[in-house]
Structure formats: structure tokens, C-alpha cells
Structure 1
């Protein structure tokens, strides 16, 4: 379970985010500049909230009251960045291994090829990101994010750079991954189709404030 009750003061508004979710897909939907990505950064430990609490499976990741702010490496949170953040000078295999080695509890028995095979990109292990299509980059980035066996997966605009057919295929893959992993997913999008296909719960944001909270979307 993820519990988050945080505030973050930004220059143009104060972000106020509250949620309790189990193994659901929560979609944060709204226009650019609404605070969606800032929420992901706070949950991942990339940005420190101004106040509040973040707890994942009873582990406190952040508490302003107790002065706790765990580093991203200690949070057991996977993150799929909007631009996938693959290192251009590293092969596909090296990108996945980097994700594993950056985790303090590195598991040397994890085979990156097996992980990539499970995403259908095992044949690309020796290629560089510039040699991959948009869909292939996303699958590699997902493999890297899930290789660390996270307890929470954050996805920032995961389909924004994809063509329509690839986007529809990968929406289905994300849904399938969620059923397999049974952990909370939080997905940021401004696309209404993504929102209603994927969201078990939807929070619509406007200038850091939830303007609508919707239950089961499908």
C-alpha cells in the first residue's frame, strides 16, 4: 500500500496531494504545469516535499515531522521517465545492469537477458538507444525499472512519443504488467484515452489541486 499526504510549495502554486492506494493503477490527469510530474518526483525522492508523509508498505519514505527523507536508491521505487532516460553511450544490456547496480541491494544473480526477453527485446541487448524504435526504447526502460523489483512503479507520460498503433499495444502491455506484478502503478498523462483505459482510479489536477477524483474507470 502507498500512503501519501504531501504539500510542495512551488513558485506559482502549492501542490497538495493525498492518496491511499493498494495494487491499483492511479492516473494523474491534467494539463501541462498542473503538478503531475512534481508528484512523481516527490514519491521517487528526486524532489523533497515541503511537508507531509509518504509511506510504502509500512516503510516511511518521507516524513517532515520525523525528518526522514530516504534517497531514491533506498525507496524501492521504479521510475519510467517521459524520455525513457536511457544512457546513449550504453548498450541495452548495460542500461538494465546500471539500474540493478544503482540499487544498494544489488542482486548479482539477476540475468538482464532474461528480463529483456520477458519484454520481447532480448534480441536487442547489444544495441544502443539510438538504434531502437520508440516502442523498443519504452520496453527497455520498463525492463530497467522493473528489474530492481520495485514495490511501486511510476510512469511519466509513457506513451507521448509513440505512434497510435504502438501506443495502443503498449497500453495493453502496461495493463498486463500490472496484473502480473500486483503493485501500485502511478501514471501521469494528459491523454484522455490513456486515462480511461488504464485508470482504476483517476485524479484530475489543476494547479496542484485535485479538481476531480474518479473511481473505477472501466
Structure 2
């Protein structure tokens, strides 16, 4: 995290009782980065949407404190409370929530009227280009697909010129095909705007793909938080015990072989091959590696079909408390973390121990960006 982020984070301290008759309460004290994407992750009912609504001023909760870059939006101790319409926030809901009687363009013009034109953060043309919605501006919400409606909704939220963008599970109402259609646009939005984003999701795939920082909520409490790549690679967390425990590896494309349909990224004096797409030499690529797709060997096997075989150091081992037949091994390829989920018997037979140098054989990878 940069010094700027450390000096001026988004500070969120919320103590909230949902209803007098409800047992649910929210009690968090967070300092989130003021750039990039911070994900609120957790199961349904953990408090993700309630926290987002408190930040936006949509919940009657005046005892909490919320500041962004030193600007106080809410303080129970100082009796300061900015209502929702005065907070410089863009909000993207699960449903696109567009005005049905207005065309896509008219929905955007409504946002422009609300914007602080004295301090434009992103231009109309840039938003149209980013969301690729030029061709559908004359259409009404009922004429658009679910993915198109969400892209217009995201464009509308950006054109308010917010200092903070809140996204409440924007893909949850879409089927898998539409999710895959809109994810690249969502990823561009997250990577190319300077506006900090708080993204709510219970999909680990979305969080891994989009978030730089994450907070895990459970029963209204923050039980884990940190940089996404760091948190995913730690043992003893909910992620290392997750069924699809994964890590993200980043590197620049340094080799391509069109004959074989493969590209390679380099990182920490290692290389990983993956299915070639439209990436170019020098492009930064992020790959997801699932722990179940990593096997371990004491030496390189030249007679193996597995292409990606990395020399790694065993940094830690943890037996699965819910399934003693399995063990998670934390590996270091230089400074990059890789997880391997193997049987406890295999670990015993290989006599694996902390500090040992072995070979990680990666069966498959998924390209994130």
C-alpha cells in the first residue's frame, strides 16, 4: 500500500443494529485503500450490503464515523451527518435500477445534472468508450440485455463524478453467459479509473479477478482483511480452507509460440505457460492457480506431460481441520506464493517439511487479465 493510501485511507467505523427486534448487528472498524478495488466478501447475511448502505448514507445510522481523504461524511462524536444525496458517491446496485421511461442516454444525462461539474473526474466520452455503449444510447432499458443495462448503470454511476464508487454484487442477477460478457468491462472500469471502488461479492472468482484489497465479513464482523494476493496465500485463513483455494500470479509476457498456441509469463526467475490469447509481448498478465491443480515432486520429471514445473521452497504446511486426509502446503517461488492441496499420505511419503526445496507441478492455470 502506498504512503498516500496509508496517510489518507477511507476510514469506516460502523456500529449498527439492523432492527430492534433483530439479533443482527454490524460492528466494523476499517481503514481501506483510497485507490483501487476493495472487496467486501462473505456469505449471504454477513453484513456486506448493510455496510455499503451505511457508507452511502442509506441506513439511519448516525452513531458511526466515515471519512474519505480527511473529508468527514459522518461522525457520531462530532454530530456530523451528510445525507445520502450530499455524499459524492456512485452506487451500482444488483439490479441496474435505470429509469424505465428514459433512454440509456437520458439516464446518463440525469447523472450529469447531478454531477459536480467543477471537478470532473472522468469525461462523458471516456465513460461511453470504457463501457462500449455508444450503439445502445437511444434504446430504453426494456430493450437492453441484462449485461447492457448493467453497463449503462455503471456509466451512470461514473458520470455523477463520484469520489467513491460502491458496487453491490453487480453481476449477481446475470446468468453465466452475461457475467462473462460484462466482466471485461467491469475489469476495465476497476483498472482504468482513479476512483476508489468498494465491491461487494460472495463470489471468490470475482474478488480474485477484480480486487486489490479485501475484507472478509462474517455475522457483521470483519474476520480477515489485507491485500488480496497476500490473504489468498496465507494458511489458517478461510481462503486456504476454501474448496477452490487459489493464488494469483502476475508477470509480463516474455515468450510466445503461435505454433503451439502458448504464451509464457516470467516472474521471480520462473516462467509459466498458458493458452495464448490476444496478449502481446510485455503485457502484464494475472493467472489464477488453484491449489487442487498443483502436485508436488522431489525432482523434475522429464517424462511428464505437465509443462509448468517450478522450483519452490516449502514455507509452511497445514492439515485441513475439517478433512485430516488432506494437507495444504504453502510454497514460495521466489517471493510469489503458490498453494498445493495434497493428501496427508503423499506428504508423509515424500517426507515434506518446512524449508525443503521441491518441484511444484502446475496442471492448469486460468487467465484473469
- Regarding TM over 0.5, the answer is yes
- Describe how 1:94-109 pairs up with structure 2 within 5 A: 94-103=106-115, 105=116
Contact 1:91 1:127 (C-alpha < 8 Å) held by counterparts: yes
State the number of aligned residues: 216
1:17 is aligned to: 28
Contact 1:4 1:19 (C-alpha < 8 Å) held by counterparts: yes
Structure having greater relative contact order (Cα 8 Å, sep ≥ 6): 1
Q: TM-score, normalised by structure 1?
A: 0.89
Indicate the SS of the match to 1:51: coil
Q: TM-score, normalised by structure 2?
A: 0.54
2:101 is aligned to: 89
* Pair 1:207 & 2:215 matched: no
Shift of 1:150: 1.0
Indicate the SS of the match to 1:127: coil
* Pair 1:197 & 2:209 matched: yes
Contact 1:7 1:50 (C-alpha < 8 Å) held by counterparts: no
Moved more, 118-127 or 75-84: 118-127
Contact 2:37 2:197 (C-alpha < 8 Å) held by counterparts: yes
Matches of 1:119 and 1:6 in 2, distance apart? 33
- Describe how 1:20-39 pairs up with structure 2 within 5 A: 20=31, 21-39=33-51
> For residues 148-189 of structure 1, what are the alpha-carbon distances to aligned partners after superposition, in whole Å with 9 as ceiling and x for unaligned?
121111100111122324323433322322222122211111
Shift of 1:88: 1.0
Matches of 1:79 and 1:14 in 2, distance apart? 23
> For residues 28-55 of structure 1, what are the alpha-carbon distances to aligned partners after superposition, in whole Å with 9 as ceiling and x for unaligned?
1112221111111111111133523101
Whichever structure has more helix as a proportion of its residues is 1
2:194 is aligned to: 182
Whichever structure has more strand as a proportion of its residues is 2
Q: Which residue, 11, 14, 24 being the options, matches 1:6?
A: 14
Matches of 2:164 and 2:173 in 1, distance apart? 23
Indicate the SS of the match to 2:216: strand
* Pair 1:157 & 2:178 matched: no
Matches of 1:156 and 1:12 in 2, distance apart? 23
Matches of 1:53 and 1:32 in 2, distance apart? 25
Taking a change above 3 Å as real, the CA distance of residues 55 and 111 of structure 1, as seen in their structure-2 partners, is closer
* Unaligned 5+ runs, structure 1: none
Matches of 1:117 and 1:196 in 2, distance apart? 25
Taking a change above 3 Å as real, the CA distance of residues 118 and 201 of structure 1, as seen in their structure-2 partners, is closer
1:146 is aligned to: 158
Structure whose alpha-carbon radius of gyration is higher? 2
> For residues 121-144 of structure 1, what are the alpha-carbon distances to aligned partners after superposition, in whole Å with 9 as ceiling and x for unaligned?
112122111100111011100000
What RMSD over aligned residues (CA atoms) do the two structures have, in Å? 2.2
